[in-house]
Amino acid sequence: MKLSCVALIFSLIVLASATAAAQSSSGGQELAPGSPALVTSEELLQMLQSGKDKPLVLNIGPSLLFMQAHIPGAEYIGAAAERQGLGRLRARVKPLPRNTSIVLYCGCCPWSHCPNVHPAYNQLHAMGFSNLKVLYIANNFGSDWVDKGYPTIKGQ
């Protein structure tokens, strides 16, 4: 009986550790809605319009969506779910001071299904960027930014 209890407790500890490790490596917990790592559309708009301490805004989504409409001043990096996109992201931020204010955004699909935000966030987090945010887009860039009348521009 004692042995069974010890085995059960040990199994639970191992399971809890594995779950925590998985969430940490995927960034899943940190990027849950409401997390301080996220910034809302309204907050980002205010940051961009304030004129001071503007963040570097990087688009880590697909090019066809970026070309149709994107946040003015945003730089196109490419889909961070793909090796090439992640490589471009690394190369772009490598020379920057680690306290640079950076906002990542995608908006290709609903937040829970976006393949790009977690790899991009994890990459920059691992590189030591401390002033890093991700734009929270619940549905997609069209619904959550363009349809609200927020500013956009076209092209690369």
Partner 1 sequence: MRKIVLLIVVIAIAVAVYEAGRHKSSAKGGRPGALDSAAAAFSLQDLDGKPLALANYNGKVVLLNFWATWCTPCRGEIPQFVDYQNTLGPKGFQIVGISMDDDPKPVREFYQQFKMNYPVGMGTTALAESYGGVLGLPVTFLIGRDGRIAAKYVGAADMNALQQKIESLLAK
Q: Which amino acid is at 12?
A: L
- Beta-sheet pairing, 132-135 with 102-105: parallel
The answer to whether the CB of 59 falls within 8 A of the CB of 136 is no
Structure tokens at 56: 């570097």
Binding part of the chain for partner 1, among 8-16, 18-26, 30-38, 137-145 by CB under 8 A, reads 137-145
SS3 (DSSP) at 139: coil
Indicate which single residue of 11, 17, 29, 143 sits in contact with partner 1 (rule: CB under 8 A): 143
- The residues near 31 (Cβ < 8 Å, ≥ 6 apart) are 37, 38, 117, 118, 121, 134
| Residue 87 in the binding site for partner 1 (CB under 8 A) | no
Indicate which single residue of 109, 125, 127, 131 sits in contact with partner 1 (rule: CB under 8 A): 109
Could you give the string, one character per residue 32-71, with x where binding to partner 1 holds by CB under 8 A and - elsewhere? ------------------------------xxxx-xxx--
- Interface contacts to partner 1, rule CB under 8 A: 62-65, 67-69, 78-79, 81-82, 107-110, 113, 115, 139-143, 146
